Homo-oligomer: A and B are copies of this chain.
Amino acid sequence: MKQSDASWGPPRPERADAARNRQHLIATAREMLAELGPDRLTMDALAERSGLGKGTVFRRFGTRAGIFGALLDDGERVFQEQVLCGPPPLGPGAPPLDRLVAYGHARIRFLLEHREIARSALDGRQAVPAGSQSPLSRTHIRMLLGQIDLGPANLDLLAVQLTAALDGPLLLYLSATTLTRSPQQSERQLSDSWQDLVRRVCRP
């Protein structure tokens, strides 16, 4: 397997040193994030601390948001795997409505577990990475909606609406400067209202 499979991934395999640098940069970014907070995690500082050049940092991540995106993607890969081929009700095998509810719970849990990073990503003056419309979420929700009998409805737009309805409260919670409620309590509330919304929308 060279670059023959055109379906996915970078056409060329990453060069060895590049891959090593990416690893190193992500690790360093994690350190700095935990140690200094998101504001002090600047491109220059990351370059210097990792002992690499500024250009390298930008080539790897493209933009500042790319760093946080990369940090999130690390975990997101595992998450998506669970969704696509994990056990029900999250994975295949359960009724689509149950999967829809479970997906929301899982996403809420995932983002709350990584809330430090997720918050950093939208912290400051930066474009929202997955915030506005994470395409993976939308695609999956759209797919599940197609398996539910909803009568006449624009499923594509409904999927966008539900994705937004799932992310909206999360973003609101994450962007709140003072997190009034405990994560557990919030997870409960967010999950409950997601379940309530989905049930309301999908009942016959």
Contacts and interface: CB of A to CB of B under 8 A. Distances in A.
Number of copies: 2
A148 to B, nearest CB: 12
Interface residues of A, number: 35
Interface in A126-142: 126-128, 130-133
Interface of A: 63, 122, 125-128, 130-133, 153-154, 157-158, 160-165, 167-169, 171-172, 175, 189-190, 192-193, 196-197, 200-202
A132 B123 CA distance: 12
A193 B133 contact: no
Contact of A196 (B131, B132, B153): B153
A160 B154 contact: no
